Amino acid sequence: MFTNFALIHVQVLLGGLIWTVVLSLISFVFGGLIGFALALAGVSKVRWVSRTIATYVALIQGSPVLIIMFVIYFGLPILGVEVGSLTAAGIALVLFSSAYLGTIWRASLQSVPKTQWEGADCLALTYAQRMGLVILPQAIRIATPPTVGFMVQIVKNTSLASVIGVVDVTYVGKQVNAATFQPFTTYLVIAVLYFCLCYPLSVLSRRFERAYSVSHR
């Protein structure tokens, strides 16, 4: 028998929201680590390295996140590799995040004026010193607004993980709707929860963007 939507259902949805946040953090942290490596490799003067990175980025960016999840979750077991739903979703989102963050950060590195790169070379700095002392501090300021903004996309894309059985807020929402038969209320609450996660990030991104624009007038 169907029940009325009550506070207990909101609490259940909040429990699912925790896994949404966890999956988002996993995607951003590990995707960011890989993306940083991709960004550095992308500005490499070694042609085959930059072309390999460009191919990887094009492949991931050209594939829907859900399809990547399907390939990992349903495809790998055929090859004898069993992958859990959370692991499959995490890997897919990490690949997705790494490709886009790598692109954002590579563009930020390339946005640093050429004179700064040349000046670092003239000082006879090592590669690590040149990046750490001259290039990266400037690139970080350029990259911060789009990076924070991209975190919104990561949070939104975690909802796709419910398709393969990850018990995030969207998956829990389906169960609550099945119990209460009140889709409007259930999914409205879910929308509000996503909004509470995404809106502060959007505001923070705009603030960083304005701060960066003002500092360069």
C-alpha count within 13 angstroms, C-beta hemisphere, residue 60: 22
- On the question of pLDDT at 1 being above 50, the answer is no
Decide if pLDDT at 57 tops 60: yes
The pLDDT of 149-178, averaged and rounded, is 94
pLDDT of the residue at 43: 85
**pLDDT tens digits for 23-35?**
999 999 999 999 9
Q: What is residue 170's predicted lDDT score, i.e. its pLDDT?
A: 95
Whether 137 and 186 have beta carbons less than 8 Å apart is answered as no
Please give the share of the chain, as a percent, with pLDDT higher than 70.
95
115 has pLDDT over 90: no
pLDDT, position 213: 65
pTM as predicted: 0.89
| Topology at the third CATH level for domain 7-215 | MetI-like fold (1.10.3720)
Find all residues with CB under 8 Å of 13, minimum gap 6, and list them.
Answer: 169, 172, 173, 176, 186, 189, 190, 193
- Domains of the chain, by residue range, sit at 7-215
